[in-house]
Chain A
Amino acid sequence: MSLPSGLSFAQAPPITVPFRFFLSAPLFALLAALLALWFGPSLMDSRWQPSVLALTHLMTLGFLSMAMVGAMLQMLPVIAGSPVAHPVGVARAVHLLLVPGVLFLAGGFLLGSSWPMRVAMVLLGGGLLVFAIAVGISLARAASDNPTVVGMRFALAALGVTAALGLILASNFSWEWWLVGWVQVTNLHLTWGLLGWVGLLVIGVSYQVVPMFQLTPAYPKSLTRWLTWTLFALLLLCSVPWLLPEAGVPEQLAVAVGLAAMAVLAAFAVVTLRLQSQRRRKQSDVTLLFWRFGMACLLLVLMLGIAGQTMRDTGNVPGENLMAALLFIAGFAVSVVNGMLYKIVPFLIWFHLQSLLMGVAKVPNMRQIMPEPGMRRQMWLHFLAVPLLGLSALWPLLIYPAALLFGASMVLLEFNLLSAFRVYRKHAKLAPEINPKTT
């Protein structure tokens, strides 16, 4: 019989592949929190300030993309049946390019100087290119009838667009050539990054992990069939007006496309919350609460966005843009990633330890690897930080308590992840030395 090419049942890649990303991510978010404390209420003056741009990229590239890249390298064998080739080398290269890349990018913004920005372009462009090629090959080989694979392909394409636009903007920053409509290019860059790369990946992954962790009913096929490609098509449509010469597309059409994209995301959030309320598993856990919180924030952002679009003529809602961005990044995306980390990390540690120690020593269970009370404490810090962050767009002084809480939450997240990793290292020592490569 013929097997679909690339089909593989290989076990998970070595534990360092995802962990180097997972352990780095919270440090960037912590750095963002410290910058927010340093700059304080002035952050809310305008979204175009270097401080805001540096902070945003520490969050989106340093925290979100870092964790998402690690999770994708880990998940592809299981979710798509198509592992990434040479996972150790790819992970090392991508990680070693992204980490300094994000720091140089933030530095370039903060110093307003072009050389760090040029270094960042090389490092980030290179890192994301290696990632896109490695994951792209794996996704191309995977079975296409899997809606998660389809979602991941669109997400990866969106990452490509985001990165390309980012490189254009960065080259404009460091060589100061004349870029027509750089405000529009910036808006496109962030739309593709947030709704495309982050949004599409979260949707695609949700199809698998929401039913899996809580034993909810599956997402309806009628939804999974069209949701991700519709969102992707809408993102393409959003981009058309800015590619065409001026006066090409009527304003109402642009508004309609924006509203449609928001409706797609709202449908996803509502269905997810409904499925979670129908879960067969009665045990509530931190991951579930993080996801519910994240979906609620997403809905709030969409309401703000719809209000912003429809009340255009009556003047802007004050702070609406910044509030929506804060709630989308910290409230929706960080919550979902944070909740996922609390499932993936203890499970992977258990999984690798069990393969090493089967028949040799008793392996701690997931709750011993990552104790519930520590996760809950961090979750509550995060749940307190997010509303304050959102409100700081209206009352800028609130940025102080918000950034303090958010920073504390990230310190605790890093501490929880490191403690779990220490459990791994302690127990892995007990393994008989047959195949050191399996760790």
Chain B
Amino acid sequence: METISSYMTSDHHRCDELFAQAEATVSGQDWAAIAAGLRAFLESMQHHFKMEEDVLFPAFEQRTGMSMGPTQVMRMEHAQMRELFDAMADAVKQQDRDEFLGQAETLLVMMQQHNMKEEQMLYHMADQALAGEMEEMLQKMRAVVL
């Protein structure tokens, strides 16, 4: 049975894959391809954040009454990652390879430690808290568009 954990974890992997592809394009000289790779990756991330911030987190907060707890920390980390997204986009605009790789490296570690907290804690808590409305939650998340 699909759960919030399994659905969101596989979406993390989809984002990781697009990250790896975007980072790999930087070995070439084709800045249009690099920009396209970055765009695909950033869209996947923004979409993931939107599913969490618009659907999952509010439902979790409403159900548990914890609005200043884990979801607040996750939102803060989203804000930190959005700054890195902007920095990566700037680096592509300026065609600065070192800056791009440095920002990408930073984002990778930030993103992975963030995902780890979500996959090992928050999603499990959400699975428990929202067990009664699992199908509805999954449908709402699938329906999110950027």
Chain A residues close to B by CB (< 8 Å): 1, 3, 7, 9-11, 78-79, 81, 143, 146, 208, 212-213, 215, 280-283, 285, 343, 347, 350-351, 354-355, 358, 365-368
CA gap between A79 and B114 in the complex, in Å: 10
Q: B16 and A3: CB pair below 8 A?
A: no
- Residues of B whose CB lies within 8 Å of any CB of A are 16-17, 19-20, 23-24, 27, 63-64, 69-70, 73-74, 79-80, 83, 87, 98-99, 101-106, 108-110, 112-113, 116-117, 120-122, 125, 128-129
Closest to A79 in B: B116
**What are 7 A-to-B residue pairs whose CB atoms are below 8 Å?**
A9-B117, A350-B110, A351-B80, A358-B83, A365-B99, A365-B105, A365-B106
Do A9 and B83 touch (CB < 8 A)?
no
- Known contacts A9-B73, A358-B79: does B101 contact A212 (CB below 8 Å)? no
Question: Which A residues lie within 8 Å of B120 (CB)?
Answer: 81, 143, 146
Q: Which of B16, B74, B98 contacts A9 (CB 8 A)?
A: B74
Query: Using a Cβ cutoff of 8 Å, how many contacts connect chains A and B?
Result: 86
In the assembled complex, the Cα of A354 lies from the Cα of B74 at a distance in Å of: 15
Task: Report A279 CB to chain B, min CB distance, Å.
Answer: 8
State the CA gap A355–B77 with chains docked (Å): 9
Q: A9-B74, A9-B122 given. 18 additional CB < 8 A pairs?
A: A1-B64, A9-B73, A78-B116, A208-B116, A212-B113, A215-B20, A215-B108, A280-B20, A281-B23, A281-B24, A282-B27, A285-B105, A347-B106, A347-B109, A347-B110, A354-B80, A365-B99, A365-B105
Complex Cα gap A354–B82 (Å) = 12
The answer to whether B23 touches A282, judged by C-beta atoms less than 8 angstroms apart, is yes
Describe A's contact surface by its main secondary structure: loop
Residues of A within 8 A of B74 (CB): 9
Q: Which of A3, A9, A350 has the most CB of B within 10 A?
A: A9
Q: Label chain B's interface by main secondary structure.
A: helix
Inter-chain contact B87/A78, CB cutoff 8 Å: no
Q: Which of A1, A212, A213 is packed against the most chain B CB atoms within 10 Å?
A: A1
Could you say which of A1, A78, A208, A367 contacts B101, with CB atoms under 8 Å apart? A367
Residues of B within 8 A of A285 (CB): 105
Q: Nearest residue in A to B104 (C-beta to C-beta)?
A: A283
**Distance between Cα atoms of A208 and B113 in the complex (Å):** 9
Which chain A residues lie closer than 8 Å to B108 at the CB level? 213, 215, 281
- Of A213, A283, A285, A358, most buried by chain B (CB within 10 Å of CB) is A283
CB distance from A144 to the nearest CB of B (A): 12
Whether B69 lies near A9 (C-beta < 8 A) is yes
Q: Is the CB of A283 within 8 A of B23?
A: yes
4 residue pairs, one from A and one from B, having the closest CB atoms: A367-B102, A365-B102, A9-B70, A212-B112
Do A351 and B110 contact each other (CB < 8 Å), given the known contacts A81-B120, A81-B121, A143-B120? yes
